[in-house]
Chain A
Amino acid sequence: MSEMKTAAYICSGCELGDKLDVAQLSKIAQKEGKMALVREHEFLCSEAAVQIIRDDIANEAVTHICIAACSRRAKTEAFHFPEVAMSRANLREGVIWIVAEGSEHDEVRQDMADDYVRMACAELKKMKLPQGNPNHAGNKRILVVGGGMSGLTAALEAAEAGYEVVLIEKENQLGGWASKLWKRVPFKQPYAEPQDTGAAALAAKVTAHPRITVHLNSTLAETSGAPGRFGVQIAQESGASVTEEVGAIVQATGFSAYDLNKLPELGGGKPNVTDQAGLEALARAANGATIKRADGKEISSVVFIQCAGQRDDSGTHLPYCSGHCCATSVKQAMYFKDANPDVDTVVMYTDLRMPGMGEDFYRSAQDKGVIFTKGKAAAVETSGDGCTVKFRDLILDEDTAVNADLVVLATGQVPNAGVDLEAWNPIVTAAEGGSEEAKVQRVELHKTSVLKLNYRQGPDMPQLKQGFSDSHFICFPYETRRTGIYAAGPVRRPMDMLQATEDATGAALKAIQAVENASLGRAAHPRSGDLSFPSARLEGCTQCKRCTVECPFGAIDEDEKRYPVFNESRCRRCGTCMGACPVRVISFENYSVDTVGMQIKAVDMPDEFSEKPRILLLACENDAYPALDMAGLQHHVYSAFVRAIPVRCLGSVNTIWITDALNSGYDGVMLMGCKHGDNYQCHFVKGSELANYRMSKIDDTFKQLGLEPERVITHEVAITDHARVAQLINDYAAKINEIGMSPMKAFA
């Protein structure tokens, strides 16, 4: 890169000029910030002003610019200069909008603005323009694992969008569960009758598609690489092996039915008791005529028991609702009624859940004479030629019973997600420690893997809850914790066929984004398009493995010498590795231990008698920093003693920043990140949790130093907490006032 030339642009619009001494800010940028070029403008985001900046870049060879105006989250379209490195001093949302009105606050307001200009200049000088991941590759083919409804849809959607697709299916035909159904729940007006599944037509379309290659009777033997360059080995039943190169993967491996034999109390395993899949088989055999039991008897009465082995809070069975089974039982009851209205059909439910347009379908079943009863089944006994269902009628509030020729248990979906890494990791550790037993276990467990990733962090995707492969059901659907690999359909969360096809479409689009981003060396969600990437100065690395272990996305492997190997295309640019590294050798071009460290040090530190404490606030840029901006927008007043620095994720906070801050005289350090734990909201899944853990360790250090542990405080905040962040800051400022100025100031 050519010579660095810096420039600072200071805005006096949006009342900045009225509330601040802009000339003084310019002087600071020039004298202290050492900016080669400093310009003021009364309307910096105007076209004219932006043109001035562009001209400076073109004519003055400016390579680094500092914009001192509004928040980095505002006016991003005006201040879009991808060809230079840029820092932003937040004088509007961060200063004039949050410092109390009135001339008695002029001094602290100006102090704050001065510091933000110093910080932005200091940061800028440590930044480099990100060049994009050098190890990128441009394979844009998409591998779809699983040929059921989700897989077929994902394959077709990707192919129709112009991408080549490789689809592998372990069975000898496409269609999955759908091909085993007699009919499906309707997904079109008037939602009244069971409909043809459409699986055969979809499979035919996929098979005939010029951009789709189908491998039947096939499983994955090994998956290696990264987005844009995955290498997959496909094992075929014949013993043959095929190698394919792909850019992204959609895992649509679906679900297995919950094992009936685990429900002996409901007759599971006994004759004339079946599950929904079993009933589909009987219905297919009947082909529209009266349905017969396995023993050939025509069925004249049937009872469906909903939630069998589901929504169980005793810990024995599935704790969740599989979402489709109520509608499926309604559909199956119709099979009987449509063939012969005289068949007695009872659907026994505790809550009938009919999502989507299911209410119309429910009504249609009632109209056909299906009897619905709110009841809890207690036992199913085989009696004589049929079964007796003993249950509590929850409307009539009595124990009663009903006889039937056949009982159908609506059991749940168990995801086919492969190896649970929570179980895998301890076995690997034990095996590496030499345990023979663990070595055998590892081999056995590996056989159950779906993806067979050769990643350091395990062969499948991490599971979120109850074995489903997802990273966050609500905030980031389809996003797993393995970049470029997307889960779709019931392997991601329990769902019905319509939801699965929508899900598959979403996952296909995600996969397309992934290959496109990868081919340009850019990050995927949530820093989609980011060109920076982590690089490690391996000479300094002590092979502590913290980065490898803590990376939430499994981006880092190890080489033979146990040095970390960064797979940039698998990386989400969260900086967790940078925060983890005890010797601080990991950095990004525009975000590093130095870019933040220099900001911390750039603050002008008043002495201990000034009555002006300084509080460092490290705020996650996903939730906490926007909440601070919104606090500004809402004019919530907060302490002008705070100096906020946005961080990519609390996980990227290296403890050196905390110790540096305290050593240089800050009176307190606040960390604001996302909620962690079971219902986490961290965009990088583990970042805020790790930060919390690291801070708990740092606490001990303080105690040893004789420093009050309250000098560092961590808060979980959500993006909507604008009033709360202001309150937290004010409370903390009061607290600092109480415990007094930092004793470290004297040494700073």
Chain B
Amino acid sequence: MNDLNRQAIANYKNDFLREVEERVEDGDWVRMCMQCGVCAGSCPLGNAWEHTPQKLFMMIRAGKREEVLSSDSMWMCTSCYNCIVRCPRKLPITHIMHGLAHYAHKLNMAPKGQPTRDIAKLFWDNLVKTGRVNELKFSLAMYFKDGFMQGIRNALAMQAVGMGLVKAKRLNPMEILGGHKCKDQGGIHRMIAKARAIEAHKKG
């Protein structure tokens, strides 16, 4: 068997499509795409993506697991909902894009250093701790996400903006000590745990 054939074994088979259907939010819609390309033509960012939604759907059906899950494309979605409104087959494309990104993240196959992924992770970690976003810590975490030296440089570059915010009482330096919290932090944590359990139950 030559190389092409070995690669062909999983090609255009149900396996990956099934996986997406079972584990990705709204993944069971992927099979309904009729490859018209309306989403690809409607996405305002489409030309910046390596693979348009249309192509991603075809790649899933073609069994290209590695390529899809390590793709940067679905991370580019800005949730404008143009595609959902226009898809003649009524696919919830935006949701599938986020579902795919989330699934790739969970499997740790998402591209390292992908900015959307990084921001989302920092935001989420920051939020779940106290139930409120600590803007100071979030900004600092953003500055220092690429290392200590880069963080110092970022902070110096943004110094004037930071001082302005402090003067205008939009930023409280004391937040560094812990800052505002939700009244019932335990409740928030229980809520999130429950949501996780539901999600795990829905998509194995």
With A301-B13, A363-B32 given, is the CB distance from A396 to B59 under 8 Å? yes
Residue of B nearest to A401 (CB): B8
A366 contacts across to B, CB distance below 8 A: 31-32, 34
B9 CB contacts on chain A under 8 angstroms:
403
Q: A705: CB under 8 A from chain B?
A: no
Any B CB within 8 A of the CB of A393: yes
Chain A, residues 374-388, CB within 8 Å of chain B (1/0): the string is 100000000100001
Q: When the two chains form the complex, which single residue of B11, B61, B89 contacts A400, counting CB atoms closer than 8 Å?
A: B11
User: Interface 1/0s, chain A 347-363, versus B by CB < 8 A?
Assistant: 00000000000000011
Residues of A contacting B107 in the complex (Cβ-Cβ under 8 angstroms): none
Which residues from B are CB-within-8-Å of A344? 12-14
Taking the closest CB of chain B, its distance from the CB of A396, in whole angstroms, is 6
B5: contacting residue among A346, A367, A403, CB under 8 A: A403
A363 to B, closest residue via Cβ: B32
Give chain A residues whose Cβ lies under 8 Å from the Cβ of B59. 396
Q: Is B4 an interface residue when CB atoms closer than 8 A count as contact?
A: yes
The CA-CA distance from A373 to B13 in the complex, in Å, is 12
The answer to whether residues A400 and B8 also contact, given A373-B61, A393-B62 and a CB cut-off of 8 A, is yes
B54 nearest CB neighbor, chain A only: A395
Q: How far is the CA of A402 from the CA of B63 in the complex (A)?
A: 11
**Chain B residues with CB below 8 A from A301, complex form:** 13
Which residues on A sit within 8 Å (CB–CB) of B13? 301, 344
Given contacts A344-B13, A403-B5, A403-B8, contact A396 B55 (CB under 8 A): yes
Classify the secondary structure of A's interface with B: strand
Determine if B5 and A396 form an interchain contact, defined as CB atoms under 8 angstroms apart: no
Whether A372 is near chain B, meaning CB under 8 Å from some CB there, is yes
Contacts of B55 in A (CB 8 A): 395-396
Q: Are B31 and A373 in contact (CB under 8 A)?
A: no
Chain A interface category by residue count: 20 to 34
Distance of A466 from chain B, by nearest CB (Å): 30
For residue A369, CB closer than 8 A to chain B, the reply is yes
Per the bound structure, the CA–CA distance linking A371 and B7 in Å amounts to: 18
A342 contacts the other chain (CB 8 A): yes
Question: Which residues, 22 to 40 on B, are CB-close (under 8 Å) to A?
Answer: 31-32, 34-35
**Complex Cα distance A413/B58, Å?**
31
**A390 to B5, alpha carbons, bound, how many Å?**
10
Cα distance A707–B59 in the bound complex, in angstroms = 73
Q: Distance (Å) between the CB of B21 and the closest chain A CB? A: 9
Over the window 402-416 of chain A, the binary record of Cβ atoms lying under 8 Å from chain B Cβ atoms (1 yes, 0 no) is: 110000000000000
- CB-based contact B8/A371 at 8 Å: no
Decide: A402 and B12 in contact? CB cutoff 8 A. yes
Chain A 320-353 per-residue mask, 1 if CB under 8 angstroms from chain B, else 0: 0000000000000000000000101010000000
Q: Is A372's CB under 8 angstroms from B12's CB?
A: no
Closest to A381 in B: B5
Contacts A346-B12, A403-B9 hold; do A374 and B35 have CB atoms under 8 A apart? yes
In the bound complex, CA of A402 to CA of B7 (Å)? 9
Residue of B nearest to A341 (CB): B14
How far apart are A299's CB and chain B's nearest CB, in angstroms? 14
List A contacts of B58 (CB < 8 A): 373, 393, 395-396
Is B84's CB within 8 Å of the partner chain A? no
Cross-chain contact B12 with A371 (CB below 8 angstroms)? yes
Instruction: Report the separation of the CA atoms of residues A351 and B17 in the bound assembly, to the nearest whole angstrom.
Output: 23
- Taking a contact as CB atoms under 8 Å apart, the answer to whether B32 and A372 are in contact is no
Which B residues, 78 to 136, have Cβ-Cβ distances below 8 Å to chain A? 89
- When the two chains form their complex, are residues A372 and B8 in contact, meaning their CB atoms are under 8 A apart? no
Contact present for B8 and A342 (CB under 8 Å): no
Within the complex, which residue of B1, B11, B35, B54 is in contact with A402, where a contact is CB–CB below 8 Å?
B11
* Pick from B4, B5, B17, B89: contact of A371, CB under 8 Å: B17
Closest to B14 in A: A344
What are 20 A-B pairs with beta-carbon distances under 8 A? Answer: A301-B13, A344-B14, A366-B31, A366-B34, A367-B31, A367-B32, A369-B17, A369-B31, A371-B14, A372-B35, A373-B12, A393-B62, A395-B54, A396-B58, A400-B4, A400-B7, A401-B4, A401-B11, A402-B12, A403-B8
**Known contacts A362-B34, A366-B31, A396-B55; can you find 7 more A-B pairs with CB under 8 A?**
A301-B13, A371-B14, A371-B31, A388-B8, A400-B62, A401-B8, A403-B5
